[in-house]
Chain A
């Protein structure tokens, strides 16, 4: 339980710090720390495969994506305004955020967490793979096709520059 508290603290602290900092690159790096914290949580919960996949995908790849996105936006961190543009906007933002938080907290508090007494089922990597590539193969293929289409779309959008020049 102490381990869980430490992990939760790490996740929450990095997330809240990431929102408070004015330097965007620092925020992204803290967000990466947050993702790593979530991977640690998966590890704590016994989901080894998900934890390493989370590290490989988020800390390895998505972090690069966000960093490049931040670096390619031209504004330097000195002239970033964090003052809301108008009072009504700030009010609406607070209201929306409060509503989302209310729904989330309500759901968490409302869902029954029974006391699980039997040991968690030990799922081996082999079982996981067989489930994924056997029982749920249709879903896997659909996700693969959607991602491929997205990738092709990205290539099409990116390659338009050349035609404009010629």
Chain B
């Protein structure tokens, strides 16, 4: 371990930061280090957002058997000899830039009757709250912007404030569609907040820590040298991970839970009266929220920045974090391309009748896991798997009684 701890690439970001700030006197040094962390998060996740919009459109295009955006190039790239064959289009890589310029130059329309202050504050608050959640995610060994004792609690406290922004947007627009859609969005956000929070409680129970750094440290060893100690590989952890991801989809208003926006059915929900860059801020907040929740899922269940196998530790920790994060984000995009949108009642049933009871069972399951530490691992694993799979099947069967499995009478 010590060899990998001191490797040049592993410590490179911290070394770079220290080299830039060490000449400053003590209080300024601390301030500069904080500022550098903020700028780094803004730059990295800002550009990730830009790239993600392009990747999403490309991936959705491929799933639907069309090329996706492939025309917008970047100027002067056609002159580079090794890019000549793309004729300056470079696979549509210039699309995020074009989108950004379009959003910035669009007219900002505020309805005359709207509540000017709230209409303005809503997108700003939304983006600020999504950005604040990045402060406690450990992106790598020693790479956490703020180390708090209760960082998991901080993450969800900052995330809870986005509901207020949605309300402000819906109410401040003074538009009946926006208000009604905001109410629906709030109902969804509140309903899925519960399974989201309950699903990570087992992790806190087993790791014995509310700090993200502590939770990652608790997952950084291997059974018999090759099975990682990640919580997703335990029965309760696997169930918790799935519930967390479903709730994260709903919390970030992503398909199949994109009812608040539902661009093909409603106008645009609480975003109806937003145009130009304010709309772009909401859009950005959605993607950043999705990224932050994925980062939290990686931290809580997928071992954070830990390598999957001991001999792979020569690869820097932040690379592993990025790989896991991008995998989850691609999963989000894949789900958007695959699943149809839920109906409002189905949405509520899924949360209150299925996910919340399963979360509570999972809590009891974690207690069993914790108390049976003396049993052999295989027995313990099977016991806990039965405790969570049985209610999953029973509740699932009773909820879909008379509806599933679907029979096709005419389409054969």
> Chain A: residues with CB nearer than 8 A to chain B?
25-26, 29, 32, 48-49, 52-53, 55-56, 59-61, 63-64, 67, 71, 124-126
Contact = CB atoms under 8 A, between A and B. Distances in A.
Interface of B: 118, 148-150, 153-154, 156-158, 160-161, 163-164, 167-168, 171, 183, 186, 190, 193, 208-211
Majority secondary structure, B binding face:
helix
Majority secondary structure, A binding face:
helix
A61 B190 CA distance: 8
A34 to B, nearest CB: 13
A52 B154 contact: yes
A52 B160 contact: no
B164 A63 contact: yes
A40 to B, nearest CB: 12
Given A56-B160, A61-B160, A49 B168 contact: no
B157 A59 contact: yes
B150 A52 contact: yes
Contacts, number: 54
Contacts of A125: 149-150, 209-211
B160 A32 contact: no
B160 A59 contact: yes
Q: Which 3 A-B pairs have the closest CB atoms?
A: A60-B160, A55-B157, A52-B153
Given A25-B171, A64-B163, A64-B186, A48 B149 contact: yes
A69 to B, nearest CB: 13
A25 B174 CA distance: 12
Given A48-B148, A64-B163, A126 B208 contact: yes
A49 B154 CA distance: 9
A65 to B, nearest CB: 10
Contact of A49 (B150, B160, B190, B193): B150
24 contacts: A29-B118, A29-B164, A32-B164, A48-B148, A52-B154, A55-B157, A55-B160, A55-B161, A56-B156, A56-B160, A59-B157, A59-B161, A59-B164, A60-B157, A60-B161, A64-B163, A64-B186, A64-B190, A67-B167, A124-B149, A125-B150, A125-B209, A125-B211, A126-B209
